[in-house]
């Protein structure tokens, strides 16, 4: 380091004084001349907690806020009773819509199935009329007739009065066929025999159905042969067929109602 020193010369009273300044190096003070660092023991001890100043109101407020935030339950658990969360409500709504959709589809399928199974009952209003007078013209080109002795057979004559039949609806899809002039009912017994009954009974209940080719079939509504329906049919010779040998697909059981 350099230090400036001032020296002066005074010559007599009132004489001018000469002041000289010169820069002389100043020796660096040795380390020994430095003041020693105060040891740790000389430091003032930490003040105990009892000596701390009381907390300010702001500190107390912040502390209470931290406690409330840490102790606050999650939004999912804090949902009040009776209030459904938005996510749960959305899921419930989606489930309801899907269930309702399935309910509508299932009800529609059930309705379609019932209509399909009962198509011959519901799709044709004329099958539920009161009384109809018809001639039943078979696929074998015979008119079904019931003579005055109760015998059932076929005739080629268009003017045979015994071929005029009276068809009466007795139940949904169930009819009774009576010879208008012979007053006998067309009937099928348990063995499948086709005959004319004097009195109306369970053998006279016939199930009328319109087939795909437009012809009608008449099956016993009471009796079956090994869970198969027995139909009214005429052979190629105009003779009645036994119900046990008849099938719905057999053209001998198909009749076309002709209005009289």
Whether 78 is covered by a domain: the verdict is no
The C-alpha atoms of residue 195 and residue 203 are separated, in whole angstroms, by 10
Whether 77 is covered by a domain: the verdict is no
Whether 47 is covered by a domain: the verdict is no
Helices (DSSP H) in the chain: which residue ranges? Answer: 57-71, 86-117, 119-122
Provide the domain limits for residue 177: 122-259
Query: 152-155 and 165-171 as β-strands: parallel, antiparallel, unpaired?
Result: unpaired
pLDDT-flagged residues of the chain (< 50): 1-2, 4-26, 28-52, 74-84, 88-89, 105-106, 108, 110-127
Whether 232 is covered by a domain: the verdict is yes
Provide the CATH number for the domain around residue 194.
2.80.10.50
Q: How many CB atoms lie within 10 A of CB 122?
A: 15
What pLDDT, on the 0 to 100 scale, is given for residue 101? Answer: 52
pTM exceeds 0.75, yes or no? no
Whether 135 is covered by a domain: the verdict is yes
What is the number of structural domains in the chain?
Answer: 1
Q: What is the mean pLDDT of the chain?
A: 72
Model pLDDT for residues 89-133, shown as the tens digit of each residue: 455 555 555 555 555 544 545 444 443 444 444 444 444 557 899
Query: 131-138 and 17-25 as β-strands: parallel, antiparallel, unpaired?
Result: unpaired
């Amino acid at each position: 380091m350099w230090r400036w020193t001032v020296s002066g010369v005074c010559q007599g009273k009132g004489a001018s004084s000469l002041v000289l300044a010169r820069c002389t190096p100043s020796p660096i003070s040795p380390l020994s001349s430095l003041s020693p660092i105060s040891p740790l023991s000389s430091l003032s001890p930490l003040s105990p907690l009892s000596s701390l100043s009381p907390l300010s109101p702001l500190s107390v407020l912040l502390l209470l806020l931290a406690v409330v935030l840490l102790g606050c339950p999650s939004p999912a658990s804090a949902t009040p009773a009776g209030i459904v969360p938005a996510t749960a409500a959305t899921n419930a709504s989606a489930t309801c819509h899907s269930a309702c959709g399935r309910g509508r589809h299932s009800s529609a399928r059930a309705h379609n199935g019932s209509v399909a199974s009962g198509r011959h009952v519901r799709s044709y209003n004329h099958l539920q009329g009161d009384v109809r007078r018809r001639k039943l013209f078979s696929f074998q080109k015979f008119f079904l007739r019931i003579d005055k002795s109760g015998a059932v057979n076929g005739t080629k004559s268009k003017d045979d009065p015994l071929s005029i039949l009276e068809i009466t609806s007795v139940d949904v899809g169930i009819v009774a066929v009576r010879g208008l002039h012979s007053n006998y009912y067309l009937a099928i017994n348990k063995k499948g025999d086709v005959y004319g009954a004097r009195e109306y009974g369970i053998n006279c209940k016939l199930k009328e159905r319109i087939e795909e080719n437009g012809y009608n079939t008449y099956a016993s509504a009471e009796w079956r042969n090994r869970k198969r329906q027995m139909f009214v049919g005429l052979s190629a010779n105009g003779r009645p067929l036994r119900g046990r040998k008849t099938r719905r697909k057999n053209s001998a059981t198909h009749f076309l109602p002709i209005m009289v």
